[in-house]
Chains A and B, each alone.
Chain A
């Protein structure tokens, strides 16, 4: 039972965390406009966290959330307006809820938080916004009560019978917590009904035989009582108001909290039937399965091994020339490919999940920097491997800070140069071939090329008489330690520099690019592979060595014309139908002895928006390539994206086509 319970608590914490993440976005949405649905959605989240929090031993969280919920109840009822003040305090309150959740339950840490100045200040602010004194902020508002004059508190008495199902304890119900919460509503007289308890010999320790009878005197409305039992739905619950005059007896409600006794004048009809809320809270679990990311990684590792084993099988089968065996191997290969695609797709997440966080970052920074900044997000639905997304979050935050702190000018300077006072940061994502491009663009002042150049010379990154082109200069901001230069206000970072961004992106086998227009703004683009784990590879041979070209980049293969080979070096263009395509001899790229083979081939690849020919000795075919990152000794070699193990156990290097394309472009420029 204990393990069941802790698993249930874990699920609660995870779900609550997601709810709170969503809550942040919802609160930020209020800034762009409010409607009934948005407010209701916020109210539902608060209500769910409160209800399930008290159920799973997060009393402090539930108590705090109660006040927060109160405020939104007020908004729902139209008694309160949504303004910036409310959004501010709500965001802070959300953070406080997250902190309480992180405590892991009602422990000293939670108690400390509950008694902290921040909590007090939040409650006071909430109460002030609601136009009440702190004392009455304690009382739950409801339409009926709202009409009453302030401070007139009416106590009513309720008779409650709570009878958990036999399996309730096994399912993680905590009657002790429910009773404690009930007692917190007012004065409660709780009696335990143990009459169903069997003799010890027949007792099943995991079964619940108990029931409770409670007389509660409280100023809270009926739905506050029902809310406590909202998630204790595997129990019979009867709630009856005891009228002072008549002592009217129970109208029994079997599994409340759906029905409302009509006789009660003071009873409040909830805004929506609570029954509708319960499935809402559980909707996620019925259609989706929650899997720890670690398990996905294990599956991926196993799949990698499977792919390698399958490649060996393929090779051996091909050698034996047994048609039956070969057809089975083909079948296995097809299944492995399907399994691979399915597994990869499970790992793919829309980048929106990380973009969403930045709205808060932008909002907080706007306040901190005193700059009015609008954040625009495009292409949030673009999908990326979970690992990539996880590791991108920090570099992106850093880049946004850079854009806002140093890219965007202050309002006065913006207006002086004819721009709107409000700055704009655009975050966008899109897929292009096997890469995902993520851009962060600001409409600020642009990089100060002269200042960067000067600084680079000072730091010895550039020769004093160098004539670098602007693109080369802009790359300088990615040099280690460069951005910490305090004299360079347009690019200097806070703490970590752009080099940290670049190394994070390179660790993901990605690239960074920067485009800046003086006075107009700066755009930094991160090019990232869609997945880190397995790709379709195109095997080519150079001498005795095998290399892998990512198949996604391959467009076609052509014979390498003798005529081309005979030409003087310097001619690096290939006539491909009506187009001229630049080409690179991989022997040259990898400083290998020049090939003497008679029939060579050119693999035409597309990368970085351009076509490029790669000259190889032979084409060996396709395979599934499990990408292994290169060690610290080889990670920085240009033109290599990683290594993989082939069917025969040999190690093959994976060619980084994008880097070669850039190299070809540089070579073209030098010739021109």
Chain B
């Protein structure tokens, strides 16, 4: 099934940039979208290894086919409440550039919906939605069926917190 994201107010301008494939997933009652080009694979839930002293944003490690990937909880960045995992919970493995280095990481999702085609140029800027979402982590919002989908800015969302702590 393939839908097309509609910008909330006006249709996509003709001759705009190439449409982009987006992965739609749910997390704690909200709907998010990520560029498919950065998605490596989607896995069933698996045991995780908590990392002591890790930031709440990256609390654990998982084994992705013999490689170790950090498990990221994006709710920490998006000021969302953590909720118990759902039945359809999935782990989305991403491959993207973090601070210039190719990085494989995983995020938790309550459910993965589908892949759709969208046009970034047709997206509305965020401020309309008020302070609900920290704007540096979100590139825009679009209509998705009856609800809104939040497009995540993967450039900023996965950037580690400010510099390393000073060790003795």
Contact = CB atoms under 8 A, between A and B. Distances in A.
Contact of B47 (A475, A591, A650, A662): A650
A659 B168 CA distance: 9
A369 B105 CA distance: 48
B30 to A, nearest CB: 23
B51 A640 contact: yes
Interface string A622-635: 00000010011111
B55 A633 contact: yes
Interface in A267-311: 305, 308
Contacts of A639: 52-53
A498 B166 CA distance: 14
Given A628-B68, A662-B168, A634 B49 contact: no
Contact of A636 (B66, B72, B103, B164): B164
Given A631-B103, A649-B63, A637 B51 contact: yes
B19 to A, nearest CB: 32
A519 to B, nearest CB: 26
Contacts of A663: 168
Contact of B68 (A480, A592, A640, A645): A645
A10 to B, nearest CB: 29
Interface string A423-461: 000000000000000000000000000000000000001
A628 B67 CA distance: 8
Nearest to A665: B168
Contact of A638 (B49, B50, B53): B53
B167 A638 contact: yes
B167 A643 contact: no
A663 B99 CA distance: 30
B36 interface: no
A39 interface: no
B54 interface: yes
Interface string B85-111: 000000000000011010101000000
Contact of B63 (A479, A545, A638, A650): A650
> Residue among A308, A633, A651, A653 with the most chain B CB within 10 A?
A633
A663 B55 CA distance: 20
B49 A651 contact: yes
B70 A475 contact: no
> Residue among A591, A628, A634 with the most chain B CB within 10 A?
A634
Contacts of A644: 68
A80 B53 CA distance: 68
Interface in A511-526: none
A154 B121 CA distance: 82
B70 A633 contact: yes
Contacts of B5: none
B116 interface: no
Interface in A232-286: none
A592 B98 contact: no
B54 A633 contact: yes
Nearest to A461: B166
Nearest to B61: A651
A657 to B, nearest CB: 15
Contacts of A308: 66
Contacts of A635: 164
Interface in A608-633: 628, 631-633
> Residue among A592, A639, A653, A666 with the most chain B CB within 10 A?
A653
A634 B70 contact: yes
A651 B106 CA distance: 14
Contact of A653 (B51, B70, B165): B51
B62 to A, nearest CB: 7
A472 B168 CA distance: 7
Nearest to A471: B168
A650 B49 contact: yes
A640 B166 CA distance: 15
Given A479-B166, A649-B63, A651-B63, A632 B52 contact: no
Nearest to B47: A650
Nearest to B98: A632
B50 to A, nearest CB: 7
A591 B52 contact: yes
Contacts of B98: 632
Nearest to B69: A631
B96 to A, nearest CB: 12
Contacts of A649: 63
Contact of B165 (A589, A632, A636): A636
Given A472-B168, A628-B67, A638-B53, A651 B58 contact: no
Contacts of B47: 650
Nearest to B54: A634
A651 B99 contact: no
Nearest to B104: A631
Contacts of B165: 636
B168 A631 contact: no
A366 to B, nearest CB: 35
Nearest to B51: A634
A545 B50 contact: yes
Nearest to B105: A631
Nearest to A650: B47
Interface in B132-168: 160, 163-168
Contact of A632 (B49, B68, B99, B168): B99
Contacts of B48: 651
Contacts of B166: 461, 479
Given A591-B52, A631-B105, A653-B49, A643 B61 contact: yes
B125 to A, nearest CB: 29
A652 interface: yes
Contacts of A633: 54-55, 57-58, 70, 72, 160
Nearest to B159: A632
Interface in B33-57: 47-55, 57
Contacts of B68: 628, 631, 643-645, 651
Nearest to B55: A633
B63 A645 contact: yes
B165 to A, nearest CB: 6
A630 B168 CA distance: 20
Nearest to B167: A638
A331 B163 CA distance: 47
Given A472-B168, A666-B168, A632 B63 contact: no
Contact of A592 (B52, B103, B163, B168): B52
Contacts of B55: 633
A637 B53 contact: yes
A634 B50 CA distance: 11
Given A637-B54, A643-B68, A545 B168 contact: no
14 contacts: A308-B66, A475-B168, A545-B50, A589-B52, A590-B52, A592-B52, A631-B70, A632-B101, A633-B55, A633-B160, A643-B68, A649-B63, A651-B48, A651-B62
Given A632-B101, A635-B164, A650-B49, 15 more contacts: A305-B66, A480-B163, A632-B99, A632-B103, A632-B160, A634-B58, A636-B167, A638-B167, A639-B53, A643-B49, A645-B66, A649-B63, A651-B63, A653-B61, A659-B167
Interface of B: 47-55, 57-58, 61-63, 66-70, 72, 98-99, 101, 103, 105, 160, 163-168
Q: Which 8 A-B pairs have the closest CB atoms?
A: A590-B52, A633-B58, A636-B164, A651-B49, A631-B70, A637-B53, A651-B61, A628-B68
Interface of A: 305, 308, 461, 472, 475, 479-480, 545, 589-592, 628, 631-640, 643-645, 649-653, 659, 662-663, 666
